[in-house]
Structure 1
């Protein structure tokens, strides 16, 4: 599965540069948390007060929002926090965690299983996938997973626009072969480069669901272009990611992966094992977040950034305040 570098960063270039490797220097030391929060359901934790944690994230919208959620969680618990969100590249972010340059990072089980640990076959069951990732990452990399969120699964999917859904009467991926057989002119696909060729992308979908797309009707686009091209009807079937805010904004209809082909991409908090042993209280405070956060929440937050142009830190803090996890000073 492709690493989760598949969306454009929404921060200014200067913030993105803060997350790249500097020649001979590693990552920058980070910056202060951009907004203040006060305790809510997340209460001060004596063991964390005055301790410093550097929070990292990858350089796409959802990850940046999750990074700020982690920062506000730690700040409400009384920790001192450094902001190192928007690290360019999944491998760079993971290496920063392993090498002690950042301390916590929300990550995806599918990414760890396939990209970091080199497994070829995903595990369809979410809990079994998490347990396998948790065991392997700990043994191989000294990385501990905690506060797993099964309500969030940012995996691949196919979407069609509403007109196509109604015209073709399609709701499931298993119905694509019938469409191709009866209406071959509708068999257009918009996908990313890697998805078009990898076994865990389009070729694997074709094998699992028993169809073969006409290569002349497979358009390879950037992921940002795919959403608009699907909405416009340039392609009937577009490769999307299930928590992307553009799905709702463009009124796209996501097809059910009824044979459960795509890997699970549940999120969990990752940290170094020695750090989690030193501060086991991290599990408790981040489980409060996992209990609240689901796909619809992330989709709405992603849309507020990508569609409405809001700052991801504002979006993250507002969601946490709405859920009662933190309070906003002066309000």
Structure 2
């Protein structure tokens, strides 16, 4: 089965929601099984075969929990394939631990379209796999991924200037993506044009940070902004199913989602959840202000590509008033790049 990461993100969120809304025993079993599966996955990914007590516990975890998850996907699925946008390593590892392998790959329309892909034999989470046969990859001095081979297009139709910009005289195609090679496995960091450079000169790759935040059960979508600004900010679309349940348990009353998102209690809650997911990030990478949106980003409004990639510049323009207000509030309250969200 082939899909973009958004499907796996939604599946992951639904699995967690089902576990958390179950009874005490159901939750206990799920998180025990998840812990066992995590240890099992660590052994397998390190090239070791789990044995002894861990192997027996994993067999029980499969029977009690993960067999049901496999049944929900049809019961005969060999593996998923993910492409079109980066997949969160945390989500990939969860499915791998459950026995549902997601093979992440990478390519562009100009490259026919596959450059690299994980396979059942050569598999590493956090990468898009090794180059397929006959394809060359190298990393430029600025970190951009270059590729050469028979998969690269001849050029853009009737656009010689654009073709010269994309393909150098030696035949290397400039992908526009930033990445690294790790023992022949290619890892994508971000789009070159999406790298945020703060006013203080700090370079921030937003996609890995956004992917971390999107693993939180209260978050549906996240976009980091802040190019040429003093510090980064982030726009968040909450997972309203989870957030509204949380609010109702605390007897918070609201008439519509816009009113809910304006409440200081809700803003503090979402800031806390974002901060929790980014606990290991560098100080300058942490968004100092959070803006909450009441609707998803969409293809129809031009905010997402057909493969669900964020159009960062469109979002920056579309929500300029909200974004500017975040920085204006920061100026008034004395928030600088030396302060983190509470």
Please confirm whether the aligned pair reaches a TM-score higher than 0.5, indicating the same fold. Answer: no
Tell me which of the two structures has the higher relative contact order, counting C-alpha pairs closer than 8 angstroms and 6 or more residues apart: 1
Q: Which has the larger radius of gyration?
A: 2
Give the TM-score range, shorter chain.
under 0.3
